[in-house]
Amino acid sequence: MAGLGSDQRGHRAGKEPAMEETIDEKIGRLKLTEAESKKLVIDDREEGAPPSWSLAGKVLSRKVFHINTISEILRPAWGNPKGLLFLDGGPNMFVAKFATERGRERVWERSPWTVSNKACILENFVDCQRPAEIRFDKLLIWVRVLNLPFNLLNSTWGDRIAKEISDDVVRVDVNKQGLTSGGFLRARVWIKVDVPLRRCIAIDSSRRESCDWYELEYEGLPYFCFACGLIGHADIFCPNPGERDELGRWPYSPSLRAPDDVKAKSQYSRAWNNNMGFRDEQATEKAEYGPRAPPPTQGARGGMGGGNGRGRGGGRNREGPINVQAYRRLEM
C-alpha cells in the first residue's frame, strides 16, 4: 500500500493518478475468486436530472484539515453563496457543490484560494469521477513582470512574454487601447505546482541592444518552500532542498509574493476580466446573494441619521460619527 501512503503525504500534487494504475496492476496479478470476477452492471445515467455545478478541491499541506474547517474558511471567503455544499473527498480533498453556475464561476475566476495560507487547488469536476482521477497539479494565478521597458507594456508583447512564463495563458491585463497599467505586465496564467516557481525572465532586446533580467511576482501566492520553490510544503520538510548562498539564504524568498497594497490596481480586473461589466456583476450578485445593506446616512451636523425626519439627521450615534466613505469602501 505504498501508493496510498504517498497520496496522504500530499507534497507532490498531481501524483494521485499513478495510484489508479498501481491498483489495476495489482488486481491484474491476483487470481480472483468467482465472486470477485462477477461484474455489477448498472445504468447510473440520470435522464432529465437538474444541472449540477461543482468544483473539486485539495489543500496542499502536510496537515490534514477536517472538512468542517475547510468549509468554515472557504464559505465566507467565497461570499457564502446560496446553496453551497461541501462534501468530504478524502484527506484534504473536498467537493464543493453550487446552486448556480454563476456561483461556481465566481469562485473559479477569483483563484487562487488558501486554507490557513496553504494552497487550495481547484479543478472542474463531474460526479462520475473517482478521487484518484482528478489531477490537482495546476494553480490559476496572476503573475507580474516588473520593470519592463515601456514599449513592451502592451498586449502584443505582453502575450509573448506571458507565453514564455507559462504554456497556458488565460489573458493579459490590458485596457481597451491594449496597454497595461500599474507600471508592470500582469497576466493570468496556469502554473504547475510540481515545478519550482519561476523567479525571473530574460529578454534579449534588439532595441535596447542588451539582454536584461526581469523579476516576477505572484498575486495571492500561497505558502511555498524557500529551499526548492515548490508549493505545498515548507523548507523544514523539503525532501530536495537547494543550496544556500554565502549569506545563508535559500534560493527562494518572500519577494515572489506581490505586495497587497497594489493587488487591486486594475479597474479591468475588478469584474475578474471575464468580459463582463461590473454593473452586470452587481445585478447578478444582488439576485444571488440578496441586496446589500444600505449605508448609513449623514446627519446635518455630522451625526448618523436614520432618515426619520427629526431635523438633526435622526439623532446622534452613541459611538461617535461614522465615516460614510470608509463604510462604502468596506461594502465594495
The grid coordinates of residue 295 equal 449605508
Question: Whole-angstrom Cα distance, residue 257 to residue 210?
Answer: 27
Q: What is the pLDDT of residue 145?
A: 97
**Is there a contact between 103 and 81 (Cβ–Cβ < 8 Å)?**
yes
Q: What's the confidence (pLDDT) of residue 319?
A: 41
Give pLDDT, residue 113.
96
pLDDT at 227: 95
Output the tens digit of pLDDT for each of the chain's 332 residues: 344 333 333 344 444 444 445 677 788 788 888 888 888 888 877 776 777 899 999 999 999 999 999 999 999 999 999 899 999 999 999 999 999 999 999 999 999 999 999 999 999 888 777 777 888 999 999 999 999 999 999 999 999 999 999 999 999 999 999 999 888 999 999 999 999 999 999 999 999 999 999 999 999 999 999 999 999 888 888 999 999 999 999 999 999 999 975 444 443 343 334 333 334 444 444 554 455 445 444 444 444 344 444 444 444 444 444 444 444 444 44
Q: What pLDDT, on the 0 to 100 scale, is given for residue 234?
A: 84
Q: At what angle are helices 17-29 and 2-9 packed, to 10 degrees?
A: 170
Predicted local confidence at residue 261, as pLDDT: 59
0.85 surpassed by pTM: no
Look at residues 231, 223, 131 and name the one whose alpha carbon lies nearest to residue 190.
231
Please state whether 90 falls in left (phi above 0), alpha (psi between -120 and 50) or beta: left
Burial (CB count <10 Å: 0-12, 13-18, 19+), residue 165: middle
Strand 113-115 and strand 93-98: the pairing is: unpaired
Give the pLDDT confidence score for residue 21 in this predicted structure.
54
